[in-house]
Amino acid sequence: MGKSRFDVKAALISAIVLFLLVFNVFPMCYLVFRSFCVENGFTLEAFRRIYTYPLNWNALRNTLITAGLSMVFGVMIAFPLAWLVGRTDMYGRRFFRTLFVMTYMVPPYVGAMAWLRLLNPRVGTLNVFIAGLFGLPENPFNIYSIGGLVWVLTTFYYPYAFITISRAMEKMDPSLEEASKISGASPMKTLMTITFPVMLPSVVAAGLLVFVSAASCYGIPSIIGAPGKIDTVTTRIIDYVYVGSKEGLTDATALAVSLMVTANIVLYVSTFVCGKRQYITVSGKSTRPNIIELGKWRLPITILVAIFAVVVVVIPFATVAMTSFTKNLGKPLSGSNFTMRYWNILLTRKGILDTAKNSLISASAAATVGTFISCVMAWLLTRTKAKARHIPDFLITLGSGTPSVVIALALIMTMSGRFGINIYNTLTIMVVAYTVKYLMMGMRTIVSAMSQIHPSLEEASLISGAKWQQSFRDVTLPLIAPSVVAGWFLIFMPSFYELTMSTLLYSTDTKTIGYELFTYQTYHSQQTASAIATGILVMVVSVNWLLNKLTKGEFSI
C-alpha cells in the first residue's frame, strides 16, 4: 500500500517534469545555446552584431526606461490604493477592489487602443477636450512618446502590484499596527514605521513583477510605439523574426536571450531578497482587520480614488466601447454617427469567428491541462513530502517569469521538426505556449486553497476507509472546487486574448482572436478591433462576476 502510493507520486512528478522539460526547459536552453552557437561553434557574433545597431541599443534603453518608470509609478499608485482599500474606512472599498482586480484580467493592448484615441496628438478626444477647457494653443499630450508608453504601461500593470501588495496586507497581523498605536504612534507614523517596512519585501516583489511584465509586453509598445517610432526589445525581436532569414532568427535569439537574462536576474534577485526577509506575520487569532478611520479625509480621499478609477478604468473602456459604434472616427459619437456595422462584422465575418473558435479551443485546452497539473502540484506541495516536489514548482515559476516572446521563439526553434516533434503551425503549439506561460496563475490559486484545508479532514476520510483517490474526490475536491474553477479561468482568460506568442506562432489556419484584433487595429479598422475588444471586456466582466458568485465574494487572485 505504502509502496504503491509512492509510485503514484513518483509517476506524477515524472510526468509533469517530463512535460516541463520537453516544452519549457529544453526550448529555453536551446535558445540560449543557439544565441551563442552558429555553425562553427561558440561565438558572440550574434550579440556583437545586434549591439552594433544603434537601433537595438535604443530599443534596450527604451525598454529599461519604460519598464523602470512603470515600476516606480505602478508601486507609487498600488501601495496607497492597497492600503486604502485594505486598511481604511474609505467608502466603496469592496467595489474599488473588484474594479482594480478586474483590470488585471483585461488585455493590456485594449489600454493602448483606448489611449491612442484619447491622447492622439492631433485628434485625441481627451487632448482636444483639455485644450478646449484651458484654452491651450495646442494639444497638451502626445501618446506617441516615451511618456505615453509609460502612462499606458503603468495604468495597465499597476494592478499586478496592487494585487501582490493587497494580498500581503491581508496576511499581515493587525496587532502589529495596534501595538504601534498603543505605543503612542499616530496612524501616519504607524504607516511609515511599521506597515511599510513590514510590507517592504512584498512591495519590492510587486515592483519587480511590474518591471518584468512591462519589459516583456509587446501589445502596448507595438500599438503605441510603432507610429511614434519607439522600438522596444520585444518589438525588435518580432521584427527580426518577421525578416525570416536565418540571420534574422539568430539576431532575434540573441535579443531574446538578453531579455530573458534581464527578466530572470530581476526575478531571482526579488526572490532572493524577499525570500530572506519573508516575515511570518500570520496571527494566532484572526482578529477583525484593524480599520483606520480617515475622519475628515474620508470623503476627499474617496473622491480622489474615484477620479483615478474613472481616468484609468472607466474612460479607456468606455472609449473602446464607443469606438466600436462610431461610423466616422473623425467625429464624436452621436445619433448620425452611430452604427452597428462593426458589431455585425464581429458576429458574422468568418475570419473573425474562425479565430475566435481557434482561441476558444486552444485556451480551453491550455486551461484544462494547466488545471490538471495545478491540482496535482497542489496535492504534491501541500500534502506530500516527496523530495522532488519543488523541482516542477520551480520550473513552472521559471516558465511564467519568462517573457512571452522568448517562450514563443524558443518553441518555434525546437518544435518544428528538428528534434522529432513537429507541432509548428498547429493549435497544439499554442496550447503548449499558453500552458507554459500561464500555468503558475492557476497553480498558485489552487495551492493556496488547498493549504487552507486542514489535512485532518482528509485523514478523517482515510481512517473511515477511503483510499487516497477516494478521499481526494470526496473531501478535497468539493472543498477546493471553487478555486479550481477560478484557476481554470485564470489560465483561460489570458490565453484566450493572448497576442504576443500568437503573433509568432500563428499560421493561416491557426490565427487567434488576439492576433486578429491586432491586425484590424493596425491595418484595417479600429472600429472592428474595438468591437472585438469590447466583446473581450464583456467576457472579462462576466467571468469576474461568475468567479465572485462561485467563491461567495471572496475571489482574489
Partner 1 sequence: MSSITLTNITKNYGSVQVIRDFSEKFNDHEFITLLGPSGCGKTTILRMIAGFERPTAGEIMIDDVVVSSAGNFVPPNLRNIGMVFQSYAVWPHMNVFDNVAYPLKMKHVPRPEITERVMNILEAVHLSPYVQRMPAELSGGQQQRVALGRALVSNPKVLLLDEPLSNLDAKLRESMRFEIKEVQGRFGITVVYVTHDQTEAMAMSDRVIVLDRGEVQQSDTPMNIYRRPENQFVADFVGKINFIGGVSSGGQVEFPGGQKMTYTGGKTGAVVVGVRPENITMRQDGGVLRGKILQQYYLGDVNDCRVDIGGEILRVIAPGNTYGKFSIGGEVWLDFDEYLVFDENH
Note the residues at the interface with partner 1 (CB under 8 A). 173, 175-176, 178-187, 189-190, 193-194, 197-198, 200, 277, 279-281, 283-285, 290
Least distance (Å) between residue 59 CB and partner 1 = 39
Looking at the Cβ atoms of 173 and 458, the one nearer to partner 1 is: 173
Looking at the Cβ atoms of 132 and 197, the one nearer to partner 1 is: 197
Least distance (Å) between residue 176 CB and partner 1 = 5
Grid coordinates in use for 345?
462584422
Q: How many CA atoms lie within 13 A of 397 on its CB side?
A: 13
Please name the residue that has the C-alpha cell 455585425. 344
User: What distance in Å separates the CA atoms of residue 543 and residue 110, rounded to the nearest whole number?
Assistant: 17
User: What distance in Å separates the CA atoms of residue 407 and residue 399, rounded to the nearest whole number?
Assistant: 8
Least distance (Å) between residue 289 CB and partner 1 = 11
3-state SS track over 372-408: HHHHHHHHHHHHCCCHHHHHHHHHHHHHHHCCHHHHH
Least distance (Å) between residue 99 CB and partner 1 = 25
Looking at the Cβ atoms of 180 and 521, the one nearer to partner 1 is: 180
Least distance (Å) between residue 92 CB and partner 1 = 19
| Residue 48: closest CA among 39, 36, 31, 66 | 36
Looking at the Cβ atoms of 64 and 200, the one nearer to partner 1 is: 200
- Do 317 and 123 meet the contact criterion of CB atoms below 8 Å apart? no
Q: How many CA atoms lie within 13 A of 6 on its CB side?
A: 4
Looking at the Cβ atoms of 277 and 418, the one nearer to partner 1 is: 277
User: What distance in Å separates the CA atoms of residue 455 and residue 81, rounded to the nearest whole number?
Assistant: 36
Least distance (Å) between residue 91 CB and partner 1 = 18
Q: Between vectors from CA 373 to CA 367 and to CA 376, what angle results, nearest 5°?
A: 140
Looking at the Cβ atoms of 199 and 411, the one nearer to partner 1 is: 199
φ, ψ for residue 493, nearest 5 deg: -60, -55
Q: 422 in helix, strand or coil? A: strand
- Do 437 and 400 meet the contact criterion of CB atoms below 8 Å apart? yes
Least distance (Å) between residue 108 CB and partner 1 = 34
Residues 273-296, buried b or exposed e (16+ Cβ, 10 A)? ebeeeebeeeeeeeeeebebebee
Looking at the Cβ atoms of 169 and 217, the one nearer to partner 1 is: 169
Q: How many CB atoms within 10 Å of residue 341? A: 15
Least distance (Å) between residue 161 CB and partner 1 = 20
Least distance (Å) between residue 555 CB and partner 1 = 24
Looking at the Cβ atoms of 186 and 464, the one nearer to partner 1 is: 186
User: What distance in Å separates the CA atoms of residue 282 and residue 451, rounded to the nearest whole number?
Assistant: 14
Looking at the Cβ atoms of 41 and 284, the one nearer to partner 1 is: 284
Looking at the Cβ atoms of 244 and 295, the one nearer to partner 1 is: 295
Q: How many CA atoms lie within 13 A of 206 on its CB side?
A: 28
Looking at the Cβ atoms of 174 and 370, the one nearer to partner 1 is: 174
Least distance (Å) between residue 182 CB and partner 1 = 5
- Do 162 and 97 meet the contact criterion of CB atoms below 8 Å apart? no
Radius of gyration (C-alpha) of the chain in whole angstroms: 24
Q: How far is CA 60 from the centre of its chain?
A: 21
Least distance (Å) between residue 284 CB and partner 1 = 5
Least distance (Å) between residue 88 CB and partner 1 = 14
Q: What H or E segment, with its residue span, contains residue 41? A: strand 41-42
Please name the residue that has the C-alpha cell 476627499. 300
- Do 340 and 325 meet the contact criterion of CB atoms below 8 Å apart? yes
Grid coordinates in use for 195?
506597515
Looking at the Cβ atoms of 54 and 295, the one nearer to partner 1 is: 295
